[in-house]
């Protein structure tokens, strides 16, 4: 039996989430989205995007050690945040008004798609999808997702940037036999 390093576990979960989202994008799971980058990073969300683009940032946040009744039930609960940022072309903003709502609505819809994409889907023929496991790190099993916010009006108004975030948690058993 070997014990896992919690920092490595959190990094592995972030890597696997990033790869799952990339694979979903490559397989057209998010119809009509043009994403310029899907990256694991420690995103500086206060930085204004300098170029016109849509980014998905996967940010490892923390882990909790959780113990249940038996030794085999001990696990790490790893939390990662996903930030969706989109810098709009200034031409989309009119002199008299804000960015057209259809562009913002599509990004909010993308957040809903991403939220569902990371959750288990018991109707799927794919065992990893049905069980909520991450394909590139099968020891990680989905536990919880939560939309933190869908966009920030102030950033949209002042920077012409959509910014939404969600949190996702995966459990990984502490010991592998």
pLDDT of residue 1: 39
- For residue 122, give its domain range: 2-176
Nearest to residue 20, comparing CAs of 126, 109, 173?
A: 126
Whole-number pLDDT of residue 69: 52
126 neighbors 24 (Cβ within 8 angstroms): no
Check which CATH number belongs to the domain holding 124 and give it. Answer: 3.30.2000.10
Q: How many domains does the chain have?
A: 1
Tens place of pLDDT per residue across the chain (177 aa): 356 777 789 999 999 999 999 999 999 999 888 999 999 988 766 566 667 788 999 999 998 887 655 555 688 899 999 999 988 877 766 554 566 678 888 999 999 999 999 999 999 998 988 899 999 999 999 999 999 998 888 888 778 888 899 999 999 988 654
- Single pTM value for the model: 0.87
């Amino acid at each position: 039996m070997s014990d896992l390093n919690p920092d490595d576990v959190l990094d592995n979960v972030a890597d696997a989430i990033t790869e799952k989202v990339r694979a979903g994008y490559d397989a057209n799971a998010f119809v009509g989205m043009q994403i310029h980058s899907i990256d694991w990073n420690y995103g500086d969300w206060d930085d204004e995007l300098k170029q016109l683009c849509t980014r998905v940032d996967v940010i490892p946040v923390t882990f909790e050690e959780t113990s249940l009744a038996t030794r085999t039930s001990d696990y790490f609960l790893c939390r990662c945040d996903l930030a969706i940022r989109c810098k709009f072309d200034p031409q989309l903003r009119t002199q008299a008004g804000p960015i057209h709502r259809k562009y913002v609505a599509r990004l909010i819809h993308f957040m809903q798609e991403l939220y569902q994409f990371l959750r288990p889907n018991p109707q799927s023929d794919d065992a990893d999808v049905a069980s909520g496991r991450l394909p590139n790190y099968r020891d990680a099993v989905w536990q919880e997702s939560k939309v933190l916010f869908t966009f920030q009006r102030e950033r949209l108004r002042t920077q012409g940037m959509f910014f939404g975030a969600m949190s996702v948690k995966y459990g990984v058993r502490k010991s592998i036999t």
